[in-house]
Structure 1
């Protein structure tokens, strides 16, 4: 019987932790943008309201007559707090602003998680490989974004109307079509932005050429190769 209660207690503890984690709002913003944390409509009881970044106090709202707000040095030029103290706005966000924020209102603590990412620059397309056999070339193109602070990046290729959700793509093309403008576009996307680049000159992108030696290619039929 004792084992049953121990197992039940473990399940209840796990459910409590899961609910607590899901009750923490997660906000995602871009570098240079703004964010506003809003706590539930809770009575302050006439006491002070405390905002923290992690364990570091950043704002204190006092309701003494007259009421006043005190900001930490890092927050004083970029933070705005409502008169009730229940809303905090941070402007000109930086990467180091990411983390956990909390507000203590009359003993009630509400937490928020902030993720801050850089907006993507235009992606770059490079020719990873070109293999030609007779009048057909098999091209391998790679789409990438240089730099850091972007978080997870997803890539989508659009090649003559067909889409692939991947960073690199392979497709066949006639040699005679290498100089023709095509509809090849790569789109890069993260949590706060998306950018795309269009390839207009395949020969300029893949100026070199290797010749297949007894290769047997299997690929879907694409426009320009029939």
Structure 2
């Protein structure tokens, strides 16, 4: 047996024994940057300012085998063309060897997503991304903020203008979309290349694909009032 190194991952949850949660695991398969891979979870070439985007880092060891635990130090940043930091990123450890990188671009520009492990770029990094301004009349709405509305001259949208529910919600299985598409694995919302997906960005409240068009959801017989 060949071990490159042993590491104690104190924050990793190791399950339960006789009803007691065990914290921490000893890992003998650290992630190797040259074999780990960056995979965008949405169309990063056509992002809009203020929209939430995400990518997935899949860790593999020095032999190219999947790493099945979390706890790796993943560094993520968005850099502008001149090398300055455009915005920060949040990294969510899925504790299965994969890490979700979430960011919200603040400016319309060309940029790159940099992902490193132990200071070394993973496969697919740097990843080129394109950011455009929000169309006129559309207010920026990010995932999980369904109360913000875009005033478009007609009926107002109550959802988000997104590429898919998986990306806009950060992987929330309970998030839904009016387009009606679903994904396997218990996800209630839409995802890229899955049955029913419109194939382009759309409003989650009505599936309208025109970012500046009015909401097309059917009128409701119920009204909400605040007392």
In the superposition, the TM-score normalised over structure 1's length comes to 0.30
Higher helix share: 1
Q: Using CA pairs below 8 Å that are at least 6 residues apart, which structure has the higher relative contact order?
A: 1
Higher strand share: 1
